[in-house]
Each structure stands twice: as structure tokens, then as C-alpha cells.
Amino acid sequence: MDMSDKTPDEKISFQKIAIVYNEDVQKSFSTAKTVQDVLKTNNLPSETTPSTKKIDADFVITAGGDGTLLKAARLYPETPIFGINLGRLGFLAQSKPDEIENAVKKLISGEYTIEKRMMLETKAPKTTALNDIVIKGDSFSRTSRLDLSINGKRVCDYLADGLIISTPTGSTAYTLSAGGPVIYPAMDAVVIVPICPHTLTARPLVIPADEKIEISGCGSCSGMKLSADGQNTIDIKENQTIIIEKSPKTAKLVVLKRENNGFYSLLRQKLQWGVAPRA
């Protein structure tokens, strides 16, 4: 395995298992029930719950795509999470529905690692994100001028469609599509990427994770919109400064021990990294 901040000595507690399903994903609920049946066969009680409702849990299994896992990471920080992938990519939720029985056996026998992934947070409004926080102007029909400061010192203002503030985990998601770099998950860093900037000198910026990022609208920007992991959209008032920092809480992703399951292997398999196009 060659992925992120592993905690090999930490073990999953199977006392309270939550199976999280996404009501918007086809077959999510039926897959959650299949997981529950397999757990019951192995004398492990569990409870199913929609991704919008948090219940008391020591271990979380998600049935959906990466979006379902991202929701669970925000609801259950510091709780080990394992994903069954029903989506298209499955970069975070890696196991398939036909692998459920084998996955449960591996989990019970301890054939896994738990990876700690850094998260981001804002205090006003209060929100957290495992992948990224995206800030755009209040009007989606035109570009916005957004002012960036780090540790109280002004860096620049961007004339762009918005800004992406990403964790290393999120560097393979929206950030990558916007031209940002891929960051190894274990790195303690944050990536700032402008979306469709109107200046050629506006390039992605990689900074230490403990820096304090401040973003405010300037010029004719009458307000902003903020989204966490592309799911929660919040309206930001005019003249309000958004402060983004590393969260003291982490997401704990459970990864099974198996061949070709490391970060670089996933880049090749999931993103076709460096694969020449076929005729």
C-alpha cells in the first residue's frame, strides 16, 4: 500500500455499525440492505440510515458513490468509513456491490488500513469539507473579482468564475478538472485553484495546510456562494470575508489490503493517468 496517513494500529469497532445509503442513488437502499444481511450472517448487528441523518456509530459503511462517502465524512468525522461504490468513478468508495461478502470477511479479519485525511473548515458560515470548498460570485452569468489573503497578508485578486480551495484528497476531483495539480493524500497541504481565470498569470497555488486563507468579494461583487464538497451551497452576504482553515478533525477512510489498491495504481485505473489514447 502506498496511500496517505495510515494508522495500522487502529482497529475498527464493530459494536455500532451504520450503513449509510443515498436516497438519490439508484439501488443504494437495496445495496445497504444486502450489506446489512451479510453483516447479520457474521453476527454483526447494524442499522441503515439515509445520508442526511446521523446516528450513533463506531463504524460507517456507505452504499453509493464518492458523493455519499463525502457526505458521511462530514457527518461522521473521526469515524472509520468504508465505501461500497455504486457510482461511475469510485475513487474513494472503492469496493463494488459484488465484492460485499469478500469485503466484510476482510474487514472482520483485519485486512485493512485506516487512512487519516485532512479536512477543511469555515466558521462563518460553519461547514467542513473533505474534498474542497468552492467560492463563486452571486451571479453565475459573469465572472467575479475575488480577493485572496493568506495569514492576513494580501496575495492577489482573481478575475475568474470562482476559486477552489482543495485538500490533497480533493486534488483528484474538481481541482484536477480546473487545471490543478494532483497532491499525494498524505501531504499536509492546501491547493488554491482559480476557475476559468481571465489572466494567464493566474496559476494554482500550493500552500502549507496550517495557513489561514481569507477570501472576500471586491469590485461589483454583491455577494458570494460557497459550496462544501459540491453539495452544500450557502449564500454569503456582501462584504463578508470567508476564512478557511485546516479542520482539527479528520476523515478516516478504511482501505482493504489488496493488490493494485495504492494511490498511484488508482490514478492509472480510475483516471487513466498517463495512458495513451487508443485508436
Give the pLDDT of residue 1. Answer: 36
Cα dihedral 82, 55, 7, 176 sign: positive
Every domain of the chain and the residues it spans: 5-118+250-271, 120-248
Assess whether pLDDT exceeds 60 at residue 2: no
139 pLDDT higher than 70: no
| Grid cell at residue 174 | 474538481
Look at the block and give the residue holding cell 439508484.
Answer: 26
Could you give the CA distance from residue 26 to residue 151 in angstroms, rounded to a whole number? 44
| CATH class held by domain 120-248 | mainly beta
CATH number belonging to domain 5-118+250-271: 3.40.50.10330
- Estimate to the nearest angstrom the gap between the alpha carbon of 11 and the chain centroid: 22
Q: Among this protein's residues, is 229 annotated catalytic? A: no
Q: How far apart are CA 84 and CA 91, in angstroms?
A: 11
Please pick, among 37, 56, 58, 66, the residue that the annotation labels catalytic.
66
Confidence category of residue 271, pLDDT binned at 50, 70, 90: confident
- The better pLDDT of the pair 269, 195 is held by 195
Rounded Cα gap, residues 32 and 194, in angstroms: 38
- Cis geometry, peptide bond prior to residue 77 (ω within 30 degrees of 0): no
Give the integer Cα–Cα distance in Å for 83 and 94: 6
* The pLDDT value given to residue 263: 82
Q: Distances from the Cα of 210 to the Cαs of 39, 119, 213, 222, 248, in angstroms?
A: 40, 11, 9, 30, 10
81-137 per-position pLDDT tens digit? 999 999 777 889 889 999 999 999 999 999 999 999 999 999 988 999 999 999 998
Give residue-wise pLDDT tens across range 53-70: 999 999 999 999 999 999
Q: Is 5-118+250-271's fold the same as 120-248's?
A: no
Q: Which of 33-42, 156-165, 241-250, 262-271 has the lowest average pLDDT? A: 262-271
pTM: 0.89
> What would the grid cell of residue 177 be?
478538472
pLDDT of residue 216: 92
- Give the 3-state secondary structure of residue 41: helix
DSSP 8-state assignment for residue 95:
B
